Chains A and B, each alone.
Chain A
Amino acid sequence: SSELTQDPAVSVALGQTVRITCQGDSLRNYYASWYQQKPGQAPVLVIYGKNNRPSGIPDRFSGSSSGNTASLTITGAQAEDEADYYCNSRDRSGNHVFATGTKVTVL
């Protein structure tokens, strides 16, 4: 089965921009989805498809992809963006896979 990898942790100063990356072979053929999860809560989808935001997700969240790498960018990070972020994609076998997640700290 396919694998996706993310950096374990990143930090960003309040109001600055942070990019979280996700790498894996499946990303050459399928878009990544990105999820935000805060402690004790269910995940929240923030980006899906080419660069789509569900209703209610602020436009400071954006997604992009190139080759085997997908990226989630938070432009003007806010304190409430501190959370774990996971990418997910489908693979050719029909399965989906999550990466291990990135803990984002807003300083």
Chain B
Amino acid sequence: QVQLMESGGGVVQPGRSLRLSCAASGFTFSRFGMHWVRQAPGKGLEWVAVISYDGNNKYYADSVKGRFTISRDNSKNTLYLQMNSLRTEDTAVFYCAKDTSPYDISGHYGFGDYWGQGTLVTVSS
């Protein structure tokens, strides 16, 4: 069965860095684009970033552009999110989610048929 498992969350001071991982299993990871989505405490969902199945295309929300980097290692079935220059407003549960359709560059088919359980990132001094 499809499983996505995030790790790497924790408490970090403003301005510091953190790297999240998302270990995937139960599907052919290298065929699917992957997303990061976050949710601040008591707030709605915020899309963070997407990476294409082959890693060649990456897009970011304006709120994280230039600070966060999405990447993947298809040989390890793992998605990453490198977060630099963290701010208090980055405090959130971070989820990884997969595209619904393989090799989808268009974005027409949406994402999120499977999600991880989330990992909490707290940015605080």
Q: Identify the A interface with B (CB < 8 A).
A: 1, 30-31, 33, 35, 37, 42-45, 48-49, 52, 54, 84, 86, 88, 90, 93-101
Count residues of B near A (Cβ-Cβ below 8 Å): 27
30 contacting pairs across A/B (C-beta < 8 A): A1-B62, A30-B108, A31-B109, A33-B112, A35-B45, A42-B116, A43-B45, A43-B112, A45-B100, A45-B110, A45-B112, A48-B110, A49-B100, A49-B109, A52-B100, A86-B44, A88-B45, A88-B110, A88-B112, A93-B59, A94-B50, A94-B107, A95-B47, A95-B50, A95-B59, A96-B35, A96-B111, A98-B44, A98-B46, A101-B44
Within 89-125 of B, Cβ neighbours of A (below 8 Å) are at 95, 97, 100, 106-113, 115-118
A88 proximity list for chain B (CB < 8 A): 45, 47, 110, 112
Chain B residues proximal to chain A, CB less than 8 Å: 35, 37, 44-47, 50, 57, 59-62, 95, 97, 100, 106-113, 115-118
Query: Whole-angstrom distance between the alpha carbons of A101 and B37 in the complex?
Result: 14
